[in-house]
Each structure stands twice: as structure tokens, then as C-alpha cells.
Structure 1
Amino acid sequence: MRNLQTTLIFLQIISLSLCGWLPVEREVKIEWDPESTPLEIKTNSVLGSNDHVYVFFYSAEGQLSGGVVLRFGSTPHYWLLYCSPSYTNFPVKLPSTADKVWRITLTRTAGVRIVIQCNEVEVLNILLSYSTCRYPYWRSYWNRDVAKIQFHSSDTASDYYGSQPVSCTGLKAEWRTAIRTTTKFPVVPGTVVEVNCIESRALNKGSSEVTCTSGTEFIFNLNEPECINTGTKTMMYKVYTNVDRIEMNRKKVREYQLQLIYENSRIHIKETSFMALISDEYLEKDT
């Protein structure tokens, strides 16, 4: 029976490893940057167990750069190393299931921000500042670049750690006004998404297929998708030619049935017996 239990545990570890999960080792510095790769931790501790997650951040030189502590007391608490005055209640209710996946993200796009998700529910989003941190020297730690993590020996809750792929949730914001897709989001990373222009007369000068990486980020083989407005109209225009050779002070006016083709903000004019490329200032619509 003991051999069977050992085998099952071993198979479970292998299965989790294949899914991107690694068993937690305490007091070992691990190469990890939670700013570029959110850290995910699996726990199955229940409230009231008083189990803790202790994960500390370190710079490449081994200097302490902050850290996150989670406590499973009668109510769940968090503590940000060298910032929080004490264990603090989460601002929202956590998922009730014992099996939890915590995602810890560090961002620096506008100050130092810690975002914690539990089973894909955002439970903490805090901008570190002198008003949110008790310790006046918090910047000395949290402003350092993070290159390593370490699970402290006091950690009794963390079972596995890793970084699972983040699903793609939609097209990039800057694409959405001109580009569309029939793909239904969310999709898993690696999914090829076909895109085309919303306007029927627009031309996509970039890739017609993009590959999801995470969130709203995509890669493409050619150029980035870009829709250029094109179109055709047929109207009467007066085209002013050069000064008439006979009457030097008069401009000669000719009328043509022209086809206007708009392309890249220029106007191509085409007529059976006449072809020219001219700019807007030489055209006057016939009224």
C-alpha cells in the first residue's frame, strides 16, 4: 500500500510538472522576474490552519527587493514585506475552494504596483506609496529590480509554483477601430487568429493572420495588421491645365469624366484617353 501511495504521489508530481508546475523548495533562490513573468503558487490550505505563504524577492546581486506573505488564519490576510504595517485583510472575498492558485504580478509602468489574483479573481491591486506603506524606507527595497525569488523556511502553504499561460482576451486596443475577427475570445496562447478590415473598401497592408501570445498581445509573420482606406468614385471635375500658349493670362479649362481612386491619401485619376496623378489643390469639383 505504501508503495502504491508513493507511486501515485510521484505520478502526480510528474503530471503537474508537465503542466508547468514545479514542487516548492524552501530556502533556495530561484531565477524569476515577477514583472515579466507573473508568479503562480498552488496551495490547498484551509482557513484557520494558520498556514503561510512566504515568498521573498531578490535582486540579481542577492539584495532583498520586497516580498509577499499570505496567512490562512480565521480570515485570510496578506502582508507586503517592508510596506504593510501588519497582516491586512483582503479588500474582497476570496474564492471558497481549498485548492487555490495565486498569481502575483509586479508592475512598474506607473510606480510600483502589486496585483494578486486567486483562482483568476483579483483580490488585491495596490500601488505602493508613502501613504500605503508604513515604512518610510520601502522604496529602498521595492525599487530594486527583481531577478530571483525564494520560499522562506517558514512557508507551510506553498505546494507548487510556476507560470501558466495567460489566455488571450481580445485584439489589441489600437486595432479594434479598423480590424475585426470572427474568433471568439478568450483563446489559449498559440492560437492563430484571422483578421480583416472592418471597412469593405479598406486594404490590410499587414498580416492577415496573427498568433496569440497572452492577454491582447500577438505576433505576426509579416507587418503588423494595418487597414488603409481605399475606394473609387466617378464624378465630373474641372482640371486646370497650364497657361494657354495663345492667351497667357487665361487658364484653359477642360472637363473630363474621371474615376477617382483614393489610395494612401493621394488621388489617382483615370479616364479612357487621359491618365494623370495630381494633388487635391489642382482639383475643383464641378458644381
Structure 2
Amino acid sequence: MTAIISASGLAGDLAAGRAPVLLDVRWQLGGPPGYPAYQAGHLPGAVYVDLDTDLAGPAGEGKGRHPLPGAAEFGAAMRRAGVRADRPVVTYDGGQGWAAARAWWLLRWAGHPDVRVLDGGLAAWDGPLTTDEPAPEPGDFQPSPGTLRTLDAEEAATLARRGVLLDARAAERYRGEVEPVDPVGGHVPGALSAPTSDNTGESGTLRPRAELRERFAALGATPGAEVGVYCGSGVSAAHQLLALTEAGVEAALYPGSWSEWTSDSARPVATGPEPG
């Protein structure tokens, strides 16, 4: 089953009375908040989900900026949004895809069997919008975390040496030339630069599967290979995992990512264009 749905495909489902649970997850690094944009117009029936409070646990020393939420808290947030175990879910954001992919990955990690991302997000949608905020009937989704694999810092370091660890941040952050968020620039030694921005074309939708397979194969990320992904705080890396899934490659997420890695000054840091 594909991890994405096109705007036309979603419109067809809505017109045919097959509406999924729609989650609006508009968010971007550094703001502004997504809720005012949701209030100004969203897909009919969509419920707003806040990335910082619903899709992440409290940040703390040594945990990174967006640690995974607790199962109880995540389950409660999803049930408030109307998520049911037996009903498909479609997530979307403003078009970047990072936040929608974070919601997709978390639901899949927590055991939901049918979750897709609106390819291209709201920017690809040409159907009606509404300012009406629904009051969904509470869902019944009970998370069972661990369906998808995760890495801790030690496992990420090991994978960078023996397998394929992809750094999903912008190339200049990987090289350590600029670091706008975290205290130290550079990358996990042995990791390969694979900016998330290369997953999409000019329209903002994912590149065709054949192109994604070619892109990741050039990095050694092929079906059967041991692959992991990290970014700054585990958000844009989810979009990398979405693209890898479409390419037929299973991969693990390092949720703490660079913000967790650099919280311990004893961990090594590589800079420059080479893995190190």
C-alpha cells in the first residue's frame, strides 16, 4: 500500500463518501504557529493537530527538541482527533511535507494500519476549504508503539559505520557551515548527506518512485540494506522515511537526531562534505 495519496485521489474518496480521518498538521521550523492558518481555511472535516504538543513529548536535557510522545499522551491526542483503528487516516500540512510525515510515521510506529500523506499538502489541493471546526466523535485508537524501528544515539553511531545512516538536513548544515538551531554544526561521523528537499520536485510532490529508488540506491539505501535516518529533531527525517517507503526501502528513525546527539559533548562531530 502506498504511503501517499494524491489530491485528486483524496477528492474522489470524499466525493464517494469514503472520507478518511483528516489531520491538519501545519507547522514549520521557527513558526509561525499552524493553528491560525488552520482557522483561516482547511479541508472540510479536518482536525488540527499540534506537532509540538500532540506529536512530540516535552523537550529536555539529552532528549532532543522533539522526542517521541508517550504512548498514553499520543493515544489521547489521536482519539480526540477522531482517529479509529478501523478507519483510514490522511495527514497533510502546508506543502513542505515534514509535519504531515511526522504524523504519518508516528501513527504507523504506534500500530495504525492505514495512514497516508496528502502528496504536496494543502498547496496541491484545489478543492473547497472551510473555516468550520469539526467536533469529531472520539476515536478508539490505542497505540502499540514499536511497529517501526527506532535508533538511539549508540545504535545510530554503529549504523553509520556498518550500514547506511542518512542525514536529512540541508547540505550546509551537514557540512557544518551553518547551524541555525543547534549549538554545534556538522554531522554524525560516517553519515551521508541526503537532504530531504531532494525528495520532491518543483511542484512540491514526491518524485516518481523510480527516481526515488535511483536517488537512494546511489547512497547505498536499497531494499534489504540496513538504513537509518536522522535530521535536526526527528521531523524532516520522517519525510525521508516517507520517500524511502515509496522507494521500497525499510529504514529506522533516530528520533533524537542532531539535537540529541550534540547534547553530549563527548559524542564526536564530523564536518565537511565527506562522511568522516
Query: TM class, shorter-chain normalised?
Result: under 0.3
Q: Which has the higher strand share?
A: 1
* Higher alpha-carbon Rg: 1
Q: Which has the higher relative contact order, 1 or 2, with Cα contacts under 8 A spaced 6 or more apart? A: 2
- TM-score, length basis structure 1: 0.24
